[in-house]
A = this chain, B = another copy of it.
């Protein structure tokens, strides 16, 4: 009974999927083909276990996975319901695990969003958020990981923008950056330079000058970019 496959594993190079992953795929397929729709109730776990010929534990792990993706929602004593057909996280997670994100792309992305973020922060930042940003600037950068402070600075600004989408986008970029494991090597004088630009950015945000904040951030990222990809 405990045979290996019920998914067609035709491709030879494909690794064996875990049972619960196969179940996830089957359920997602049902969603995409319209067998189940948003708002519907999934069959009870015990029924699913019977129809898929797997144990209830596997069904539960599959449901947990789908729930974490924001696709379903379980209500005790009631049932499990579909709340969305599409996962919120697929592309990035895949790209990260497959190491398909490169430093250049991350900088491309940052240059696109961070000026706008700085502008929004200039408009929306609360006093507490300003203080949080200032606190990060005052910190002494740790010897071994000097860029960590830099990252936190930018994330704090994103939080101050007041727009969760921007915040999330920058967090994604941060996660991708950590994944690449490329440690940007900064010379001391350049770190100095970068630090003074941080001050400029902060001042513009604190002053509520949107246009200036955008410009400063743009300039800053241009410098970082050139530091990373300079051919000198």
Name the contact of A178 in the complex, choosing from B68, B84, B116 (C-beta under 8 A): B84
A89 to B109, CA, bound (A): 18
Per-residue contact bits, chain A 197-209, to B (CB 8 Å; 1 contact, 0 not): 0000000000000
Q: How many copies does the complex hold?
A: 2
Q: A149 in the interface, Cβ–Cβ < 8 Å? A: no
Kindly provide the distance from the CB of A45 to the nearest chain B CB, expressed in whole angstroms. Answer: 13
Segment with Cβ contacts to B, from A5-13, A135-143, A161-169:
A161-169
Q: Which residues of B contact A175 (CB under 8 A)?
A: 70, 84, 86, 88
Residue of B nearest to A98 (CB): B164
The list of the 7 closest CB pairs from A to B, nearest first, reads A95-B164, A68-B68, A112-B116, A92-B168, A109-B165, A105-B163, A169-B169
Q: List 17 additional contacts besides A84-B179, A89-B89, A165-B176; criterion CB under 8 Å.
A: A61-B64, A70-B93, A88-B89, A91-B167, A91-B171, A92-B165, A95-B168, A101-B164, A105-B163, A106-B165, A108-B165, A112-B116, A112-B166, A165-B172, A165-B173, A169-B169, A169-B172
Residues in A lying within 8 Å of B, measured CB to CB: 20, 57, 60-61, 64-65, 68-70, 84, 86, 88-96, 100-101, 105-106, 108-109, 112-113, 116, 120, 163-169, 171-176, 178-179
